[in-house]
Amino acid sequence: MSTLLHQYVQNTLSLPVHLIQFPDRKDPDTGKALDLYLQGKLKEDPAYAHVLFSDNRWAKRSMIVDSLNSHTNIICDRYAFSGVAYSACKHFPITSRLPERKEYQVRPPRPPIQTPPSQPLQGDSILSALLEPDTGLPNPDLVIFFFLDPHKALQAFLAIFSSFLSFTAC
């Protein structure tokens, strides 16, 4: 969908636009670890993985800001709110703070969080904690959420990948 939107904005509306798709598996700092994690070859604590996904977005921050300052539109496929939804589905407990990235630091020092811990965003302290690593990234002007019925999603998946799958009886 993001590719189609990008093509529409660029070709039909004739507006300058960049398409950024996250996670960026080619990022030199986070890409390899994210690729291994998403393939199930890197077993990490979900909270650590959440910060890794955020660091992947932070690596693109200056490019996003520079593009916006030059009046170029940005279409992000799976940005910060997608990361919150993905991690929230993991059902891991967030007690106070997410872990810091150990090997490197791609983001500048975090600005102070505007919302005190006693007043979570939208009344949900877990979602507030999950959004915290992305505090300081450019805010989107529009977030589009696509809902797909799970049965239709399975049918679409099987239609595309059934030739690659093999099923065995249990």
Backbone angles phi, psi at 75, to 5 degrees: -115, 120
Supply the CATH number for residue 102's domain. Answer: 3.40.50.300
β-pair partners for 20: 76
- Count of domains forming the chain: 1
In a domain, 79, yes or no: yes
In a domain, 170, yes or no: no
The DSSP code sequence of 69-129 is HTT-EEEEES-HHHHHHHHHHTT----S-PPPPSS---SPPPPPPSS-TTS-GGG-HHHHH
Over the stretch 44-103, which tens digit does the pLDDT of each residue have? 777 888 888 999 999 999 999 999 999 999 999 988 888 888 787 765 555 445 555 544
Range of the domain at 141: 2-164
In a domain, 144, yes or no: yes
